[in-house]
Structure 1
Amino acid sequence: MERWPALELASTIRHDGEGGVADDLATVPGTTRWIQEQGELLAGLVPTGGVAADESLRLEIVGLRQAVRSLFAWAVSPAPPSRADAHRLMTVDRALAHLNRCAARDTVAPQLDWPADGLPSARWVSAEKDPYVRLVAGLARAAIDFLSGPQRARLCACTAPRCVRYFVKSHGRQEWCKPSCGNRARAARHYRRHRTATEPGTAPPE
Structure 2
Amino acid sequence: MRDTIDSDTRLALDLALTVRHDGHGGVADDLGDLAGLTAWVREHTETLPDAPDLVLDERALAAVRDLRAAVRALFAHAVRPGDPSPADAARLLPVPEAVARLNAAAARTPTVPVLHWTDGAEPVVHRQPAAPGTDLTAVLAQAAIAFLSGADRRRLRACHAPRCVRYFLKDHPRQEWCKPSCGNRARVARHHERHRRQGEGP
Normalization by structure 1: what TM-score?
A: 0.85
State the 1:87 CA deviation: 1.1
- In the alignment, what sits opposite 1:22? 28
Tell me if structure 1 keeps the 8 A contact 2:67–2:102: yes
Tell me if structure 2 keeps the 8 A contact 1:32–1:52: no
- In the alignment, what sits opposite 1:169? 170
Aligned ranges 1:131-150 → 2 under 5 Å = 131=134, 133=135, 135-150=136-151
- In the alignment, what sits opposite 1:90? 93
- Structure 1: gaps spanning 5 or more residues: none
- In the alignment, what sits opposite 1:78? 81
Identity %: 53
SS class of match (1:18): coil
SS class of match (1:42): coil
SS class of match (1:176): coil
Bigger shift: 49-58 or 96-105?
Answer: 49-58
**CA-to-partner distance for each residue in 1:113-171, whole Å, 9 max, x for gaps?**
7999xxxx99652113333x2x2111111000000001111100001000000011011
Tell me if structure 2 keeps the 8 A contact 1:35–1:51: no
Which residue among 29, 35, 38 is the counterpart of 1:32?
38
Quick one: structure 1 residues 186 and 110, their matched pair in 2 at CA, closer, same or farther if it must change by over 3 Å? Answer: farther
Does 1:64 pair with 2:64?
no
Report the Cα distance in structure 2 between the residues aligned to 1:144 and 1:14, rounded to whole angstroms: 22
- In the alignment, what sits opposite 2:15? 9
**Structure possessing the higher relative contact order (Cα contacts under 8 Å, 6 or more residues apart):** 2
Report the Cα distance in structure 1 between the residues aligned to 2:112 and 2:160, rounded to whole angstroms: 41
Report the Cα distance in structure 2 between the residues aligned to 1:77 and 1:21, rounded to whole angstroms: 22
Tell me if structure 2 keeps the 8 A contact 1:151–1:168: yes
Opposite residue 189 of structure 2, the aligned amino acid is A
Report the Cα distance in structure 2 between the residues aligned to 1:123 and 1:182, rounded to whole angstroms: 44
Report the Cα distance in structure 2 between the residues aligned to 1:49 and 1:107, rounded to whole angstroms: 19
SS class of match (2:168): strand
